Amino acid sequence: MAYSSVEWNSGLLDCCDSVTTCCYGFWCCPCLACSVSAQFGENRCFPLCDIFSPAITSAIGLPLCAPPAGLSLRVGIRNRYNIKGSACKDVATSCFCSWCSWCQMHRELKHRKENNAVVVNMQPPPVMMSPGYPNQQGY
């Protein structure tokens, strides 16, 4: 059974859809990022990894390109709401359009909250079988 994916509620550069979101993101992107993280159900301070991780990793000689918090939240939102896209696009968006990505995620969560979108896990429950025993229905 195939499930259709949906598009993001707004485009990456659709700042006019929610001027307050983009103004908030422009003047205080870390505040917007922390707000998105909390709305998604993650720790409010999680996006601070994006600020501190480049400094920490460059101090020990490891280059870091993709912001870990922004990328993981983007992938999480896309997977939770079955939004079209790919990991490659998420990496590119998180690396090169970080502020716009946070704004887009904020608009998406705001849209989902306003429309009371219901998330249904469409995966079948796991089946646990022991070797040598026949399949037992109902367990």
33 or 61, higher pLDDT: 33
10 inside domain: no
65 inside domain: yes
Collapsing DSSP to helix, strand or coil, 5 comes out as: coil
Total tally of structural domains belonging to the chain: 1
In the structure encoding, which two tokens stand for residue 47, read together?
Answer: 């996006």
Structural contact between residues 73 and 37, judged by C-beta atoms closer than 8 angstroms:
yes
Mean pLDDT of 49-74: 73
137 inside domain: no
Q: Classify residue 111 as exposed, middle or buried by CB count within 10 Å of its CB (0-12, 13-18, 19+).
A: middle
pLDDT band at 49 (very low <50, low <70, confident <90, very high): confident
Beta bridge partners of 1: none
Mean pLDDT of 70-99: 90
135 or 98, higher pLDDT: 98
| pTM value > 0.85 | no
| Count of CB atoms situated within 10 Å of the CB of 3 | 7
Which pLDDT belongs to residue 76? 94
Mean pLDDT of 71-98: 90
Residue-wise pLDDT for 111-129, tens only, equals 988 887 555 556 666 666 6
The pLDDT of residue 1 is above 50: no
8 inside domain: no
82 inside domain: yes
Domain that includes residue 85, residue range: 15-114
135 inside domain: no
The listed range with the strongest mean pLDDT (1-5, 59-63, 88-92) is: 88-92
46 inside domain: yes
Mean pLDDT of 15-37: 74
The pLDDT of residue 75 is above 70: yes
69 inside domain: yes
